[in-house]
Structure 1
């Protein structure tokens, strides 16, 4: 009995010891969890707070205390009605304050406008946030402006196969400042996804030009997109036609029956079909008053060619027209249907 009593007392003692130790462990863990959860954003600032369009600025985010193990991820966003694509790309929409540090500083870019703009920026983490603002002024066109923008062309026409990458080039009037100068690149209209590039290209400090990649995509027919390069005070434009990897025919833009708009143009794409001796394309229209050149002769290095479409003003709006392209000694003919616009 004495031995059993001693064993029971020992067991009870161990249980008491475990129960007594548990609060001590929780007491050590709770402050660490609370510390990680309560790391807050104290402030954010931009330097310089006013820049000329395209210039680089530095944003700083400061926490209320040093970041815990693994660092603190801070979400970044602009407060414009529509997201600033330049700010999103330059920051990746987030920044990490390294472990043991209270702040981090990083470069930012914001888009250019034709008037002075103020963009509010927000940094947030763990339910806390701080805001700052950056002012962007258009440069004096006498000192800095985009002087050139083009896509690598063949025979005066920028035509590229879907799935390929072509080279764009921008030029500016004066050498870029320290940090480089970001020139905005946009599709017009913006939802036209025939071509894709980063929202800006940086001309390196001291340089007056830069090149950048443009990815090409399209659907079953050739598609046209106009692109702009902009520093806020003026725009330079270039264009690109994306063609599918097959013989195709389409139009560059809407086809109209009156002058005062852009000229009416169609486009033939040869796709990725080998044509070492060139190609002869016959064109026909099924509608009186809508005429196309009877024949196009393309060289072995051409991927396609645009052609004029003449529309008599008497052709009623809404008329549907079929234009057929026939590749002599090539694949089967292809046809596109267009509707005459007002």
Structure 2
């Protein structure tokens, strides 16, 4: 335990209970509470766990809007005094001193709607608008590490729409992406499984943001084999296999490179995880070929290499999108 940090946390808790929580309930709850979530964010969960690192961006966003006097809006009946605005600004600034030295366990999270749409574009060249009907995230509402049955249905619909553009229907000329994935149809027989495995390895490497494991490829090949056993044409069986990729946890979630044992010591991020975090942070999409190449080589974590990649990503127009 850190006595200094404990004292800071106790002081911050007292300030929260005495000043911050009443401030939010008085000036913010009406528009950003349980019943109304203006601007797609809410304080509901942040009020329950105000020191959680996950809610720091929400508090910072709130301070920006309070400082600009956008919150509360001009027409609001109640307006905070300047000393009240200063109190909440100082409290949010103090949160940075409460971060524990131990980063804690790796917490998976689901790709945002924008990250998901951009990744589909980078994978197959489709318009990101293909995912426009997915529900928007509510900032601060939590639950970014789960998928409801209804949301999974939406992902299945989007995956089908994407593959309708990638794989041409029977009898139609192959699309440009299809020709890249399937340069030539394999002869009927044992060669189809090998060809399907090569396609699965190629797509899963990018979609999973790391090389797929043998077990992961086996699962995808089982999907292909089921369709093949029913007499589906090769391209249709491949289509179903790729659909499995697009609705897999490895694609929809940012996950550790490998399973982490309970109680394990703090370990640095692997190169593939580092590439994914860097790319999603600065570009809101999956790593590009250069990041993938450096991650595969195991050199991305080297300080000089990492610094050069940060500069490259920041110089790219995608960093300003």
Fold match by TM threshold 0.5: no
User: Larger Rg: 1 or 2?
Assistant: 1
Report TM bin, short chain: under 0.3
- What TM-score, normalized to structure 2? 0.23
Would you tell me which structure has more helix in proportion to its own residues? 2
Report the structure, 1 or 2, having the larger strand content. Answer: 1
TM-score, length of structure 1 as denominator length? 0.22
